[in-house]
Amino acid sequence: MKKLTILLIIILTAGWVNAQTRISGSVKDNRGHIMAGASIAVKGSYDGGVSDSAGYFTFKTFEKGEQIIIVANVGYKPAEQIVMIDKDIAGLVFGLKEEINELKAVTVTAGSFEAGDKKRAATVLSSLDVVTTGGANADISTVVKTLPGAQQVGEQEGLFVRGGAGYETKQFIDGTLVNNPYFSSVPDLAQRGRFSPFLFKGTVFSTGGYSALYGQALSSALILESVDIPVRSEASASLSPIFLGAGLQKVNKEKKSSWGINYGYTNLAVYFSLVPQLVDYFTVPAYHAADANFRVKTKKGGILKYYTTFSANQLGIRRPNIDDPTLKNAFGLKNTNWYQNLSWRENLGQGWKMNLGLSFSTDHNDITNQIQNQQNFPVYTGPSWIDSTNFNLITRGDLSQVKAVFDKRLSGISVLRFGGEYQYSYNKTIYNQYAAVLPDHFKAVFSEADLYITNALAAKLGVRFEHSSLINKTNLAPRLSLAYKTGKGAQMSIAFGIFYQKPENNYLFTTTNFGYAKATHYIINYIKNTSLQTFRVEAFYKKYSGLVKTFPAYTNDGTGYAKGVELYWRDKKTIQGLDYWVSYSYLDTKRDYLNYPNQLTPNFAAKHTSSLVVKRFVPSWNTGFNFTYSYATGRPYYNLVKNGSKYDIADRGTTIDYHSLGFSMNYLLSLGKAYAVVVASVTNMFNSNQVFGYNYSYDGLRKEAITPAAPRFYFIGVFLSWGVDRRQDAINNNL
């Protein structure tokens, strides 16, 4: 009986083995690379196996007839084949296509630095970076100047990028253009930006090749995205010898909405009494600034945000008159500015998203310039080249705009976006009682696609169409960028784009018989990114046409070029607790514009520019130490003198090299129930001699250097907060 049982088991086992069919084959990815660890199975059954280190698999199954073999692996789209199982099957070949997702996909980086909380952004600058950069005094543009591509221009506000003038860089907040991002211009003195860095959660500094969603910026775009709902309610206050400030931010219990208000008053009278200035301020600079905001989350996961700010300031400066040292130039300025921005971001369903933006700004200036005697009384001297500098100028600049952008998710993470914008600008000047008005209806439509072919290959294709009623001209601007992943955290990008910009208003007040200025950008870069280190190298070429010429007539006949190489390295890993970045820019640029007699290197362009930013937080001391060293080779200067039907270069040269070491220190402590940060900073610590160019007298016999109003700027203040401990941000940013 026992032998019979054993015999039956052997017979049944042999029948079970003979009933199985062997299936074998191999698995590769779509580029033909071996894929180990892929799962292979007969669909709807438990029969299957796993590919080995060579990509091969083999397994047995009881299934018969027509069946589906399915292969899957993490990060790849499943693949299927229909087979007829009636005998052993060998030689099956499966090719898996990589699943494209936001975390693994390559991003287009040519021409732009991103910073913020986007999952795929290559973080370069955060709000805390701005306020802890040595010597920057929490000014966004000053910190951006430490990145490659930007020039160290200290005598006028603006970002001078890759051979472009300051007006060729535009700033955008939540998608809409900011008309007056800086305080009003003062001769030979750069002004700081109007906005606090803590207003923004994300920053894109595009040095070229930027998105078709933005226009009218010939060289560069600084794109800022405001914060959403704060984490919790907060009260704040600030105190220093220079300014006083207070604010309140209230968040509801459900964290679905918030509102806030802030006010600040700045007066430099005490500071000027302690730190002598090289110019005579007959009206000490004083500023009032207030802002308010509210934010509401929608039921569909979108958000509605509103921000408004109002500022009023005045100042007056006396300097010796360059044509007659016994006389003085007295420049006076009063400015009021009101800016407001409303944005609505919404999910529409079925892969659709909407971004709407509305903004309005109005800026008013009352500017006077008087020739005064030694007793500070206005005088007229007789020579026209002196008396013509007596003037009164009243300006008003309004900008209203609406912008709509719609996104449609395509297959995978590819996105098609399109939309349009309308801007109405109204600019009026009254110069010595002579009035002029420039109204403009500006319209644009655009379309752009982010196409992810694989996780290693992506493209951005866009086009923008614009029309200005003021000059009655249209343009069509194509944009193209490609990115290819060369390894883990490494990629190469190329970009091409055409960019247009209207002439500045000071030329349009003379004549509107202009076309657009045009710049064609070519960019290639390589970037290697980890969570704690970033290396970047980029080369570019930019060709200008249609630049404004003011002599012998006002035309668009100006031309130029800019080319160069830039390097960037940021490291938070090598030395524990130390965060630093190094940037370097080489620039070769020339242009024939304005009254230039031929192509010359413009007086705002230095051939070599570099910065070193170092930050070290010492937890045991609750103190952060921040240093910024910036260097630039000398910039050219010219004295252009009219000689009949042309301009001659009566004098030319190169300024001394630019050196500046800035320092700041932030000490964290508690004062009662308040969290406190004490900040101290100084610019140009070593008192380096800084010359930004030269002014010339009418006859060319007198030449005066353009220098800062004081060799250094000192600051000390305490910032208090109740409800939010911002001290921890400072610690986390440096560990």
- The structural domains of the chain, with segments of one domain joined by +, span 22-96, 112-732
Q: Decide if pLDDT at 120 tops 60.
A: no
Average pLDDT over residues 597-601: 96
Length of the chain: 735
DSSP state of 721: E
Class of the domain covering 112-732: mainly beta
Q: Write phi, then psi, for 729 (nearest 5 degrees).
A: -60, -45
Q: Write phi, then psi, for 517 (nearest 5 degrees).
A: -75, 150
Is residue 173 within 8 A of residue 224, CB to CB? The reply is yes
Q: Decide if pLDDT at 502 tops 90.
A: yes
Tokens coding 397: 């600049």
Lowest mean pLDDT among 129-143, 241-255, 332-346: 129-143
Q: For residue 382, what pLDDT is reported?
A: 87
CA torsion, ordered 690, 693, 697, 699, to nearest 10 deg: 130
Average pLDDT over residues 504-532: 93
Average pLDDT over residues 431-442: 95
Q: What angle do CA 300, 305, 310 make, to 5 degrees?
A: 175
DSSP state of 498: E
Q: For residue 14, what pLDDT is reported?
A: 45
Distance separating alpha carbons of residues 359 and 342, to the nearest angstrom: 6
CA torsion, ordered 603, 604, 608, 609, to nearest 10 deg: 160
Read off the pLDDT of residues 55-89 as tens digits, 9 standing for 90 and up.
899 998 888 888 999 998 877 888 899 989 888 99
Average pLDDT over residues 491-520: 95
Distance separating alpha carbons of residues 160 and 659, to the nearest angstrom: 18
Lowest mean pLDDT among 31-40, 504-513, 591-600: 31-40
Average pLDDT over residues 445-467: 92
Q: Decide if pLDDT at 701 tops 50.
A: yes
Distance separating alpha carbons of residues 226 and 215, to the nearest angstrom: 20
- List alpha helices for 275-324, DSSP H: none
Tokens coding 259: 């509102």
Average pLDDT over residues 623-641: 96
Read off the pLDDT of residues 286-336 as tens digits, 9 standing for 90 and up.
999 999 999 999 998 899 999 999 999 999 999 999 999 899 999 999 999
Q: Decide if pLDDT at 588 tops 90.
A: yes
Superfamily of the domain at 22-96: Carboxypeptidase-like, regulatory domain (2.60.40.1120)
Q: Decide if pLDDT at 12 tops 50.
A: no
Provide the whole-model pTM.
Answer: 0.87
What confidence category does residue 1 fall into, taking pLDDT thresholds of 50, 70 and 90? very low
Say how many CA atoms lie within 13 Å of 466 toward its Cβ.
25
DSSP state of 34: B
Tokens coding 323: 């044509």
Q: Decide if pLDDT at 118 tops 90.
A: no
CA torsion, ordered 198, 202, 206, 210, to nearest 10 deg: -140
Task: Return mean pLDDT, the chain.
Answer: 89
Average pLDDT over residues 371-376: 93
β-pair type (533-549, 517-529): antiparallel
**Alpha-carbon separation of residue 315 from 155, 269, 291, 330, 618 (angstroms):** 17, 11, 22, 11, 40
DSSP state of 436: E
Q: For residue 727, what pLDDT is reported?
A: 57
Q: Decide if pLDDT at 123 tops 50.
A: no
Is residue 307 within 8 A of residue 353, CB to CB? The reply is no
DSSP state of 148: T
